[in-house]
Amino acid sequence: MNIIYKLTLRHLLMNRARTLVTLLGIVLSVATVCAVAGYMHAYIDYAYRNAQAQYGDWHIRFCGLSEEAANRLTKSGIVESARAEPSEYSFFGEGEAFDVYIRLIPGTDAGEAYALEQDIYEGTERHIADYNGVLMALDGISYDDFGLRKSVYALAAALIAVIAGSSAVVIANAFNISAADRVRQFGILKSVGGTGRQIMRAVLFEALALSLAAIPLGAAAGMGLQAGSVIALNRIMTGVGLIGKNGVVLRMAWHPAVLAVTAAVALLTVFLSAWRPARRAAKMPAIEAIRQTRDIYIRKHETKTSPLTQRLFGFEGVLAVKSLKRGKGKHRAAVVSLTVGIVLFVSVYSFVRLMKQSVMSYYDEKYNAALTVYGGADRQDAVNAALSERGDIGFVFWKYIYLLQADYMPPSFYTEEYNEWNGSLGYVSFGSVRLNAVPDADFALLAPESAGIGGIPAVLINTTGDIWSKGRYTSFTPYNMTPGEVLRLYENIVPDEWGSVTWDPVTGEYAGYDEYVSVTLVAETARPPAGAPYSWNGTPSVLIRDSDYRLLTGIYAGSPVYVARGDFLVTAADADIFCEEAEKALSAAGVDSAYFSIRNLGQQRRQDAAIILIVSLAGYGFAALLSLIAATSAAATLSTGMALRRREFAVLYAAGMTGGGLNKMLNLESLFYTLNSIAFGMPLGIAVSYALHAIITRPAGVSAYVPPYAPPLAPLAIAAGAAGLMTFAITAAGKRRLRGLSIAEAIKSEVT
């Protein structure tokens, strides 16, 4: 074997601890890449089989073809295979008719498929052609040439790029340290005639050797990871009915392409990481490498320490700061690694928290089913009656929210901001008002002071709105909430009469109209009860008491109040049974199924919880793996630093520093590392979590309540604590090795 390679292998074996740490870093990153690539493949595989099981293994079904048309179809250049069955339709007149199931050549342009359909059925009056859309998309048959498969691969590529990028930083760090360790060796090689190319080859061979060892291990670990999570995912998702409906579940993806991608990404990452250290080593002048003169070039201001350090931490503190400043590159590498870990953990935490908040706030623990009835009060009552008769279903209506509509509000109700926005629309829009009726008891909780107020008290909801203007979302307050203000809600005005209605500033009324409903604003709420609309869509919503609603609809026969729909929230003994039985009961009572919809909130909630669980598992797993990669790099940096400084420690001992003093110095170094990482990680983590909050809660149409932003202090503290613990643990391990340090020997010894 070539001497350079032999030398490199021995170097790796001699520095076993660091080699293992570097290997671990590469193994972890390979495993993550392999798992991500594998998942994506497994997902596509699942989606494909699911589409096949659900509809069949065909792209398009042409119904009711004549034999001639069927033959013409089969011979088309874009058809890969075709299968015919007798048809119940016939679009080509008399004679035998067929349904023909075709598979198109993968990658065919969807436009050609539609053209084929037109062509085959040309001249017929009507026809039926079914498209198996998912299967087509997965086979790359789509209009924009960016099928589902490609989107999944794009996502995988983005994730892999993130992993490869962050791995590259930490692996490069490991090679930097290794190359720095070997500087003297390279110097000797150069002095006896080693060329720059040979030195470069030495570092790159190190990369190759490590990759060759790490890639199979990492791929195996990645496969294991994937296998474990496929089992877990199947268990979680089939349990709540998210998958497995057609007997199709996720399975491992053993595609060779996954391994090829993994190996290629790993090799590329490692080589890119090793390239710079290799070039630097190759370019270093022999004389500098032999002398290792770099310490001599330290400039004074680079190791300057403040008098405060001396006063706070003593001389040991000063030495600790100086040594951190001297090893700036290494210091930075360790701090960056620790920071990456902190930020990742906090980001995932924030994302999962937001998801939980926004998705789960949709559900109220008390209800496990929901029933929506469209139409007026009559139908609401009919539904109520039909269900109430069925005592055997076992449910109680806990709360119902009616959606009522009334028109026109006094102009003083609208804020300047609202008018500005309204004006910018280019047309004048007076929104209607939604009156949401809630049980009196619930209303009393929201507005305790409403009891003494006469008339119809109302609680204003949706007090802030998000509008899209100038390319971004901005929040504004659309309505003035003035306690005691009376809103007069008028009947629908048809456009013909528009001109006859005017606002009279003296009486404060719309002249020309007497019919109205008055409600008095008593409170506002940012968190309305479940079922009420959360998001502002240009229409103000108020909550009123159910008893008032009944009064309104009762007293004002043919009143301006129009019932748009009723949302019933249900607490059933068994949601599954309720949903089934309610449907039967309503059909029996003659309510058309077009006028109601029943949702199983329990199951929906379990599904959402399962998705959140999966996302958090994946997120934390991903963060944990990347943080581990970062941690291995920090560990490599710190432990190498300890090994290289044996001589310095010996000098300090020789100069009379006690074991306790040395201990203090090293502990302070650990502390400074941790503080530094926190100093970067804390604001970055908070910034990322704030950005996530802003991005997710901003767009209008979020049908959920998300509490205002709160910095994720607890996870930050945990992450910072973990970083500190790791730093101290590594330093402690290094200190143990210093125990047998012989002053004379260490001072005499060369740094090799």
Q: Which is nearer to another protein, 235 or 291 (CB)?
A: 291
Residue from 28, 189, 344, 461 touching another protein (CB under 8 A): that is 189
CA distance 258 to 691: 34
CA distance 59 to 36: 28
Measured from the CB of residue 179, what is the shortest distance to another protein in angstroms?
Answer: 15
Residue 10 binding another protein, by CB under 8 A? yes
Could you tell me the sign of the dihedral formed by the alpha carbons of 355, 359, 361, 367, in that order? negative
State the binding string over 191-230 for another protein (x if CB under 8 A, else -): xxxxxxxx--------------------------------
Residue 187 binding another protein, by CB under 8 A? yes
Residue 641 binding another protein, by CB under 8 A? no
Q: Which is nearer to another protein, 193 or 701 (CB)?
A: 193
Residue 482 binding another protein, by CB under 8 A? no
Residue 279 binding another protein, by CB under 8 A? no
Residue 11 binding another protein, by CB under 8 A? yes
Q: Which is nearer to another protein, 299 or 470 (CB)?
A: 299
Residue from 148, 233, 286, 746 touching another protein (CB under 8 A): that is 286
Measured from the CB of residue 231, what is the shortest distance to another protein in angstroms?
Answer: 46
CA distance 430 to 411: 9
Q: Which stretch binds another protein (CB under 8 A): 24-32, 179-187, 265-273, 603-611?
A: 179-187
Reduced to 3 states (helix: H, G, I; strand: E, B; else coil), residue 100 is: strand
CB-count burial class (<10 Å; 0-12, 13-18, 19+) for 69: buried
Q: Which helix (H) or strand (E) holds 304?
A: none
Residue 183 binding another protein, by CB under 8 A? no
Structural contact between residues 489 and 519, judged by C-beta atoms closer than 8 angstroms: yes
Residue 644 binding another protein, by CB under 8 A? no
Q: Which is nearer to another protein, 194 or 712 (CB)?
A: 194
CA distance 299 to 307: 19
Residue from 53, 231, 287, 687 touching another protein (CB under 8 A): that is 287
Q: Which is nearer to another protein, 454 or 740 (CB)?
A: 740
Residue 293 binding another protein, by CB under 8 A? no
Q: 39: alpha, beta or left, given left = phi > 0 and alpha = psi -120 to 50?
A: alpha
Residue from 190, 399, 434, 545 touching another protein (CB under 8 A): that is 190
Q: Which is nearer to another protein, 19 or 167 (CB)?
A: 19
Residue 640 binding another protein, by CB under 8 A? no
Provide the residue count of the chain.
752
Residue 557's φ and ψ, nearest 5 degrees, are: -65, 130
Measured from the CB of residue 6, what is the shortest distance to another protein in angstroms?
Answer: 8
Q: Which is nearer to another protein, 192 or 396 (CB)?
A: 192
| β-strand pairing of 395-407 with 562-572 | antiparallel
Residue 298 binding another protein, by CB under 8 A? no
Structural contact between residues 102 and 62, judged by C-beta atoms closer than 8 angstroms: yes
Q: Which is nearer to another protein, 2 or 537 (CB)?
A: 2
Measured from the CB of residue 313, what is the shortest distance to another protein in angstroms?
Answer: 34
Could you tell me the sign of the dihedral formed by the alpha carbons of 489, 493, 497, 498, in that order? positive
Q: Which stretch binds another protein (CB under 8 A): 182-190, 239-247, 535-543, 610-618?
A: 182-190
Measured from the CB of residue 310, what is the shortest distance to another protein in angstroms?
Answer: 30
Q: Which is nearer to another protein, 15 or 269 (CB)?
A: 15
Residue 285 binding another protein, by CB under 8 A? yes
Could you tell me the sign of the dihedral formed by the alpha carbons of 445, 451, 456, 462, in that order? negative
Residue 19 binding another protein, by CB under 8 A? no
Q: Which is nearer to another protein, 3 or 687 (CB)?
A: 3
Residue 97 binding another protein, by CB under 8 A? no
Residue 745 binding another protein, by CB under 8 A? no
Measured from the CB of residue 327, what is the shortest distance to another protein in angstroms?
Answer: 23
CA distance 629 to 29: 7
Q: Which is nearer to another protein, 2 or 500 (CB)?
A: 2
Residue from 290, 612, 615, 696 touching another protein (CB under 8 A): that is 290
Q: Which stretch binds another protein (CB under 8 A): 49-57, 152-160, 185-193, 376-384?
A: 185-193
CA distance 190 to 281: 11
Residue from 185, 337, 347, 689 touching another protein (CB under 8 A): that is 185
CA distance 331 to 698: 39
Q: CA distances (Å), 371 to each of 397, 572, 580, 605, in order?
A: 10, 12, 12, 15
The 10 Å Cβ neighbour count of residue 252 is 15
Q: Which is nearer to another protein, 6 or 584 (CB)?
A: 6
Q: Which is nearer to another protein, 185 or 667 (CB)?
A: 185
Q: Which is nearer to another protein, 197 or 328 (CB)?
A: 197
Measured from the CB of residue 182, what is the shortest distance to another protein in angstroms?
Answer: 10
Structural contact between residues 580 and 404, judged by C-beta atoms closer than 8 angstroms: no
Q: How far is CA 535 from the centre of its chain?
A: 22
Q: Which helix (H) or strand (E) holds 300?
A: none
Q: Which stretch binds another protein (CB under 8 A): 180-188, 333-341, 555-563, 606-614?
A: 180-188
Q: What's the alpha-carbon Rg for the chain, to the nearest Å? A: 36
| β-strand pairing of 562-572 with 369-374 | antiparallel
Q: CA distances (Å), 438 to each of 36, 64, 97, 314, in order?
A: 48, 54, 58, 68
Measured from the CB of residue 744, what is the shortest distance to another protein in angstroms?
Answer: 14
CA distance 310 to 690: 38
Could you tell me the sign of the dihedral formed by the alpha carbons of 634, 635, 637, 641, in that order? positive
Secondary structure (H, E, C), 211-259: HHHHHHHHHHHHHHHHHHHHHHHHHHHHHCCCCCCCCCCCCCCCCHHHH
Question: What is the binding site for another protein (CB under 8 A)?
Answer: 2-4, 6-7, 10-11, 14, 184-185, 187-198, 285-287, 290, 750, 752
